[in-house]
Homo-oligomer: A and B are copies of this chain.
């Protein structure tokens, strides 16, 4: 609109001035659509129609960029699932919010597990730990209990991110799980009895349900800490 193309074609037209926000949003786009490996300063600069060095004026380095992108996604995820009044349900909602965010943006799982004490992680920690008083958990035990929930969430986050990296574009989940299950079934049943049994359940299990089952297990353990509900 009103922009006259001069001489050489340019692949992309600058929408407006560069800003950290615009850089972060573009990075999220690349991460979501092309995967973790596709985010390079060169690719990012090309999409933003600028030089690679320009990005460094707004962002300290790649880690800073990834942290900001993670923070943006997690912040949205946590505000969406507004607070349930019931503390058990509130904790489930927060955990599921993070789970679903990582399902949609697997690279968030990678970054969440790589960079400790970042803002995104603190929000999750507060969300989980903040409900423990209402659950009747005595103060001295709250730190450990919230840590257990957080670390479980982070563990699943990392695995989901790794799985997404493995079969980049969902190459038939059932076939993939079937192949893994076949490997488990091939193990010596005397040395690996549990994996042999688990192999039968693997192909049909639902990741989200299993994730929630784990949360409920930890919540059940936490409830043994407090007085009667």
Contacts and interface: CB of A to CB of B under 8 A. Distances in A.
A142 B218 contact: no
Contact of A217 (B113, B155, B198, B221): B221
B113 A194 contact: no
A41 interface: no
Contacts of A198: 125, 129, 142-143, 146
A198 B142 CA distance: 8
Contacts of A130: 193-194
Given A129-B198, A143-B198, A193-B130, A213 B159 contact: no
A151 B205 contact: no
B180 A117 contact: yes
Copies in the complex: 2
A195 B113 contact: no
A197 interface: yes
B152 A210 contact: no
A148 B154 contact: no
A216 B139 CA distance: 18
A154 to B, nearest CB: 4
Interface string A131-151: 010000001101111111011
A126 to B, nearest CB: 5
A166 interface: yes
Contact of A154 (B115, B145, B159, B183): B159
